[in-house]
Amino acid sequence: MHTAKRLIAVAGLLALGSIGSATAAQGALAAPATIGHVYVNDNSAGINTVSAFDRHSDGSLTVTPGSPFVAGGAGTGAGIGSQGSLQLSSDGRYLLAADAGSNQISVLKIRNDGSVSLANSSPVASGGIKPVSIAVHGNLIYVANAGAGGSNYTGFTLNSGGHLTPLANSTFALSDAANPGDVLFNSTGTNLIGAEINASVIDSFAVGANGRLTPASGSPFSAEGAGPFGSEFRPTDPTQLFVSNAHNGGTNLGTVSAFNVDGAGALTTVGGPYPDFQNAPCWVEISHDGQYLFAINTASSSISSYSIAANGALTVSGSTAFSGGVHGEEDARLDPTGSTLYVVDSGSNAVSAFSVSGGNLTELGSSPVALPAGLHPFGIVVD
């Protein structure tokens, strides 16, 4: 009799275990897969760090175990307005982070699980004062330094082992008042531009086979609005450049400019500037198919959407507000599929995420996702 009772009890436990296992399996199947990662330059005071998130198939984010990771240099612990302070190497194996508080660049190796660690000999001196933006094409790297007494563009090479080496005779000096906000290559690596926010001009260069810069005739070129800021070349056309104008003043006076860029780097306007009817468009991102441009309006906490014509002319279709009021949103990146746009928010220490359908944006229900307290983030990478 006792044996029979024990057998019945065991059978019951096995049945419960089977139900529990089935429920756990269903939960595991329901959990969205991790398909990539999102990284943020925290710009933390003292030792700088990089925050990492696992990126899931539904666009949601969860903190990568071990995050945030030591970047090696120092952040400023205060807000910095620039685009591209965190970049992915061309082979996808390394992150390059601007350490604005220690005048250095850190190279971090990306592990298979999304965690990162300092590469050998990192960090290295940025070649100037207060590095704020990084441009990458192949193994060629340029850094925009924005600090008085060391404002410039300086070149480096990055080898397969993650060693960043200064490129001799590559530094192009800027005035102390220039305040470069962005430096970037076109998709072929034949041109490089930099936006000087305070001077409201755009520096443009041809890039030689040796990686050194030759200023275009007429450079720097006047911007079409005050405070040229975020910049991006059209992914499908390396001769078309788009630049946001953030400091036009007044209300709803932000604009975005479009330029043609010839082989020597000379800029000609494409009928702009184009209004976005918002305040302080500071960062831009273009869809991978080159059909749409998104401008992050920092003072409006919104994103303006434009369609891009074949000749580069822009037509604004409207704007999408961030949830939770005005925060100070900054740099933005699309995921590799172009289906989700991620925006780092320095005002609320968070990352926001939007699903993308053509030029239409919808903020995800899981957005925003908090960063550690006390940061002043100013760069984002999505892989």
Predicted local distance difference test score (pLDDT) of residue 353: 97
- For residue 33, pLDDT over 60 is answered with yes
Residue given tokens 């198919």 in the structure block: 289
pLDDT of residue 25: 38
Distance CA 383, CA 375 (A): 22
**170-209, pLDDT tens digit by residue?**
999 999 999 999 999 999 999 999 999 999 999 999 999 9
- What is the C-alpha to C-alpha distance for residues 376 and 372, in angstroms, rounded to an integer? 10
Q: What is the mean pLDDT of residues 39-44?
A: 96
pLDDT in tens, 69-105: 999 999 999 888 899 999 999 999 999 999 999 999 9
Q: What is the predicted pLDDT for the residue at 15?
A: 37
Please give the CATH topology (third level) of the domain spanning 35-382: Methylamine Dehydrogenase; Chain H (2.130.10)
Q: Are 176 and 130 in contact (CB under 8 A)?
A: no
- The arithmetic mean of pLDDT across residues 253-271, rounded, is 96
What's the mean pLDDT in 238-253? Answer: 92
φ, ψ for residue 15, nearest 5 deg: -65, -45
Quote the CA–CA distance of 189 and 191 in Å, as a whole number: 6
Indicate whether 13 pLDDT > 70: no
Number of H helices and number of E strands within the chain? 1, 34
Pairing of strands 116-118, 94-99: unpaired
| Cβ atoms of residues 239 and 260 within 8 Å | yes
Q: What is the mean pLDDT of the chain?
A: 91
Q: How confident is the model at residue 31 (pLDDT cuts 50, 70, 90)?
A: low
pLDDT over threshold 50, residue 11: no
pLDDT reading at 370 higher than 70: yes
* C-alpha dist (Å) from residue 28 to 19, 21, 32, 193, 219: 14, 10, 8, 47, 57
Indicate whether 24 pLDDT > 80. no
Residue-level pLDDT at 30: 52
> 242-252 burial, b if ≥16 CB within 10 A, otherwise e?
bbbbbbbeeee
176 compared with 324, residue with greater pLDDT: 176
Is residue 245 over pLDDT 60? yes
| 290 band by pLDDT with thresholds 50, 70 and 90 | very high
Tokens of 24: 């756990």
Q: What is the mean pLDDT of residues 44-56?
A: 96
Residue 7 has pLDDT above 50, yes or no: no
* Burial readout 188-201 (b: 16 or more C-beta within 10 A, e: otherwise): ebbbbbbbbbbbbb
Question: What percentage of residues in the chain have a pLDDT greater than 70?
Answer: 91
Residue 144, pLDDT > 80, answer yes
- Residues in Cβ contact with 305 at an 8 Å cutoff, skipping those fewer than 6 apart: 292, 293, 294, 316, 317, 318, 319, 320, 359, 360, 361
Whether residue 32 is predicted with pLDDT greater than 50 in this model: the reply is yes
The predicted structure's pLDDT at residue 79 = 84
Residue 255 has a pLDDT of 96
Helix H, strand E, coil C: the string for 103-150 is CEEEEEEECCCCCEEECCCCCEECCCCCEEEEEEECCEEEEEECCCCC
Taking a C-beta distance cutoff of 8 angstroms, is the pair 43, 375 a contact?
A: yes
Average pLDDT over residues 114-141: 97
pLDDT at 120: 87
What is the mean pLDDT of the segment spanning 58-72?
A: 96
Select the more confidently predicted residue: 363 or 5.
Answer: 363
Determine which of 12-21, 37-46, 135-144, 324-333 has the lowest per-residue pLDDT on average: 12-21
